[in-house]
Structure 1
């Protein structure tokens, strides 16, 4: 058995690390950036933290701020055109998963124009060329898109989200500066934080998991579990813990895959525009319970990483229950909605949602094999 690990060429961490962008751009000889972000991050002066640094260094750029949550095929195609019109030679993504996913798709299509329809990028597309060089700067502690080979695009016409995974899409530089995440509202910090925990837990129990990624995911679970509550309250040490913890989770799951939480969350985003982190957060403890008997001894380690000092000596059934309850309690503590109806799911859509979830590429990595009828039952149970 052989295993593959793909990571960024270079990553920077710590408060103030955003200033490293100047040296990276200059030493790589880049001439002009297309900055991919969204309007709110411009309006609320989050993206301007980066733009001011570029301005001070005399580094030219053009802004594309048309990104929306759950970015669509149309948004990607607008970004491709913006890149061409700008005469840019590299990309800077500022934001959460949506700007970064958009940026990845734009970079791939510029280098591989035969995929300009966007839909043909679904799954592991056989791209021949590396994407346009991309510097990724996250503003949320959750998606870890800055370190993954994955990106997700919404097909509005067909009411579906599709996952793309391509080693050519990984950013060459990631800058993880907790100051870039500080101004996010508590509800967003909560949702993206549990999204990061979902990445760590699903990556730990997915069928493709192995020893190295297990080590990464357990450390991520520990860091997120101890840091999320405090980061929402604005505690600087915990904000830094979340920034690094979510990145570590991305190092792992990008290389081994995810599971049914993501498989069921993606259709919610496609049908209703549900924020991805919120959908994952609502689903996570319930799908953990569904998977529990198919995870061997791993829930002991999850419970321990989340602070249960007795997890290693409990009967396995109790340890599994303790892991699920620790996640459920974290959800309650950070005010995650309890039911899918609370985030806009419609009961009459359950059959269609289940079909989409079953077809989602993440579902295949789930430790427990599933079927459409069981997924329907889960949606009903969680409604």
Structure 2
């Protein structure tokens, strides 16, 4: 049996890694970058310093700073228009998952044309697009190393998963120092996103030994460091460990897959504007409970052992029970609301259950889960998570 592993050609990891941007461009033979970011990163984030670094190296960069949270087809179209205004030879994504996903989509659509809905799953997009250099400023999405981007259709509201090797960045500069100013809620939500990536990659039907190794390492790091990163935001050791875990989680799920939690999370985020990491966290304990039966039990037990929430010699059922308790405790400690607590109206929630369930299944992610639900089961699981 063989399996395909895809990752960036160049990776710089560690404190200060973003300072090597100019030299990485030189190594790749690139000289006309468009920086894709958001307004905050462009004014109070690292973008001004990166522009200065490039200028001092003789590189003039354009800046598109109009990305939006949960990027939309409209925002991507605006970025493509900016890309076409000059002869840019690469795209530099700077920010959290939304700017990085935007950079990937802009580089791809700027090369191949059409609309993003032309490229949504299950289509695989493997043709070469403009090179993307990813500079993440949050520790969670792992987008800097993945072959996926998620874009919301401005017309239908559907969160579209687009995948293929063309979406994997050419280079990733993983600098934990850029995360030191992350507030509590963002630190918690992105960290729980990382944990979800690791667990789902490990239990996925498409897992392999390489993705397993990254997933286990990432789970261990999150269990050891997420609370510290949240409650001691200046703790550099915890911040560095969480940034490394995010990248490991990204490499794990990019080379295996995500599963049911992510499949259900995208519609929840699209309909009710719940940040991606938070919507994953809302679902993770209950969906883990549903999924961890039968043949999947030993895999989830391994997750409990990796996170050190059970004794190494505990039997699988005991270990999984401890895992579920640990996930619920983590949500309590990090103040993760239920959809009801978040303020989502029950009647409105119930009114879109069918559509959310159908969109979740259509994304393909639930098909990678150890247990694959049908639409009625998905609707019940959404309701189980509501309160």
- Give the TM-score, by structure 1 length: 0.95
**Residue equivalent to 1:365:** 368
**Residue equivalent to 1:94:** 94
Secondary structure, aligned partner of 1:342: coil
**Residue equivalent to 1:299:** 300
Higher alpha-carbon deviation: 24-33 or 92-101 = 24-33
Secondary structure, aligned partner of 1:104: helix
**Residue equivalent to 1:379:** 382
**Residue equivalent to 1:270:** 270
d(CA) in 2 for partners of 1:157, 1:342: 28
**In 2, are the aligned partners of 1:272 and 1:344 still within 8 Å (CA)?**
no
Q: Deviations over 1:120-150 (max 9, x none)?
A: 1102545463110111000110000000001
Q: CA deviation at 1:348?
A: 2.7
**In 2, are the aligned partners of 1:97 and 1:145 still within 8 Å (CA)?**
yes
**Residue equivalent to 1:18:** 18
Match of 1:350 among 353, 358, 372: 353
Q: CA deviation at 1:313?
A: 2.7
1:182 correspondence with 2:185: no
Q: CA deviation at 1:285?
A: 1.1
**In 1, are the aligned partners of 2:353 and 2:379 still within 8 Å (CA)?**
yes
Map residues 18-57 of structure 1 onto 2, 5 A cutoff: 18-57=18-57
**In 1, are the aligned partners of 2:125 and 2:163 still within 8 Å (CA)?**
no
Secondary structure, aligned partner of 1:336: coil
**In 1, are the aligned partners of 2:260 and 2:369 still within 8 Å (CA)?**
yes
Q: Deviations over 1:320-374 (max 9, x none)?
A: 111111122122222222x122234433322222222222221111110211111
Count of aligned residue pairs for this structure pair? 379
When residues 76 and 354 of structure 1 are mapped into structure 2, their CA distance, relative to the original with a 3 A threshold, is same
**Residue equivalent to 2:161:** 163
**In 1, are the aligned partners of 2:126 and 2:165 still within 8 Å (CA)?**
no
Q: Deviations over 1:5-36 (max 9, x none)?
A: 01110101111111111111123332221110
d(CA) in 1 for partners of 2:142, 2:95: 11
Q: Deviations over 1:86-142 (max 9, x none)?
A: 3211110001111111111111122222xx211111025454631101110001100
1:146 correspondence with 2:147: no
**Residue equivalent to 2:4:** 4
Q: Which runs of 5+ in 1 are unaligned?
A: none
Higher alpha-carbon deviation: 220-229 or 193-202 = 220-229
**Residue equivalent to 2:202:** 204
Higher alpha-carbon deviation: 98-107 or 350-359 = 350-359
Secondary structure, aligned partner of 2:155: coil
Map residues 193-232 of structure 1 onto 2, 5 A cutoff: 193-232=191-230
Secondary structure, aligned partner of 1:91: strand
Higher alpha-carbon deviation: 267-276 or 200-209 = 267-276
**In 2, are the aligned partners of 1:69 and 1:273 still within 8 Å (CA)?**
no
d(CA) in 1 for partners of 2:321, 2:297: 13
Q: CA deviation at 1:63?
A: 0.9
d(CA) in 1 for partners of 2:2, 2:323: 30
1:67 correspondence with 2:70: no
**In 2, are the aligned partners of 1:156 and 1:270 still within 8 Å (CA)?**
no
d(CA) in 2 for partners of 1:126, 1:246: 24
When residues 38 and 292 of structure 1 are mapped into structure 2, their CA distance, relative to the original with a 3 A threshold, is same
Higher alpha-carbon deviation: 351-360 or 233-242 = 351-360
- Give the TM-score, by structure 2 length: 0.94
Task: Detail structure 1 runs of 4+ shifted over 3 Å in the superposition.
Answer: 124-129
Secondary structure, aligned partner of 1:85: coil
**In 1, are the aligned partners of 2:267 and 2:356 still within 8 Å (CA)?**
yes
**Residue equivalent to 1:242:** 242
d(CA) in 2 for partners of 1:51, 1:183: 20
1:118 correspondence with 2:116: yes
